[in-house]
Homo-oligomer: A and B are copies of this chain.
Amino acid sequence: FGGDYTFFGLLGAILAVYLLYPFVTFFAGAQGNGISVADFTRPEVISAAKYSLTTAPISTAVATAFGVPLAYFLSRSEFRGKLLVDSLVILPLVLPPVVGGVLLLTGFGSFTPVGQVANSLGLTLTDSYIGIISAQTFVASPFVVITSRAGFDSVEEYERASRSLGKGPVETFFRVSLPLTSGHILAGVALTFARSIGEFGATMMTAYNPHTMPTQIWVTFISRGVYATLPIVAVLVTFGLAVVVGIR
């Protein structure tokens, strides 16, 4: 651009270094604190990985299955109360996850009507797989809704072309809108998955047990100190990097 932006670069570098520095100290420090490959196979690490990796994909799938149609509906339809739904969809993003957890407990806890009906059917909605999934879905679904919606907003003219060629809304959705927005949707799915697998605040409320990876980090930190969390932290940082590279 032909200009001298050193001033901005220097100020910005302070933040960049602040964001980078903890990664360096963690992985450098862990080496110096006797964490070995064997720690990656400790039973609580395996167990936490199992719970996280079996719940996050389900949460992501649920958020996608209902979130993409919701995004499409919001992109194409005008209706009363649209502003309310628009806001509702963003709200979990800006709300503290612990608040989300508290809200969910009052909706699906064991002593709520819904919880009791579920109990009578043999389902436990908290401190269970379902509890983890409900927390993850509540907190992470906005990502797939918001990115898909941006995608759908950008392909309206292609849909008009399809409609003018005799194809109805549903056929148009599957033959045109969905393939053309797959990039947006995949980015949303990646973010939703990353948010699900990292979910901590709401999960602490709805399902402290069984421990997911973030919960296990907390438990391990309390009992064995910061560097003992290395195996799970390493896995999650790797995931995070993969998502960042993936959505580019």
* A76 CB within 8 Å of chain B: yes
Task: Fill in one digit per residue for A218-241: 1 if any B CB lies within 8 Å of its CB, else 0.
Answer: 100100001101000100110011
CB nearest neighbor in B for A11: B69
Tell me which of B22, B97, B100, B201 contacts A106 (CB under 8 A): B22
**Cross-chain contact B96 with A199 (CB below 8 angstroms):** yes
Tell me which of B5, B29, B204, B226 contacts A76 (CB under 8 A): B5
Q: Is the interface of A mostly helix, strand, loop or mixed?
A: helix
Number of interface residues of A (CB under 8 A): 98
**Cross-chain contact B226 with A18 (CB below 8 angstroms):** no
Task: Fill in one digit per residue for A176-202: 1 if any B CB lies within 8 Å of its CB, else 0.
Answer: 000000000000000100110111110
Number of copies: 2
* A173 CB within 8 Å of chain B: yes
Tell me which of B66, B90, B213 contacts A15 (CB under 8 A): B66
Closest chain-B Cβ to A100's Cβ sits at a distance in Å of 8
Give Cα distance in the complex from A21 to B112, angstroms. 12
- Known contacts A70-B16, A76-B3, A77-B5; decide if A99 and B217 are in contact (CB<8 Å): yes
- Known contacts A19-B141, A109-B226, A236-B96; decide if A217 and B5 are in contact (CB<8 Å): no
Task: Fill in one digit per residue for A61-84: 1 if any B CB lies within 8 Å of its CB, else 0.
Answer: 001011101111110110000000
Closest chain-B Cβ to A172's Cβ sits at a distance in Å of 8
Give Cα distance in the complex from A141 to B200, angstroms. 19
* Residue among A71, A197, A237 facing the most chain B CB atoms (10 A cut-off): A237
Task: Fill in one digit per residue for A96-135: 1 if any B CB lies within 8 Å of its CB, else 0.
Answer: 1111101111111100100000000000000000000000
The A4-21 residues at the B interface (CB cut-off 8 A) are 4-5, 7-9, 11-16, 18-21
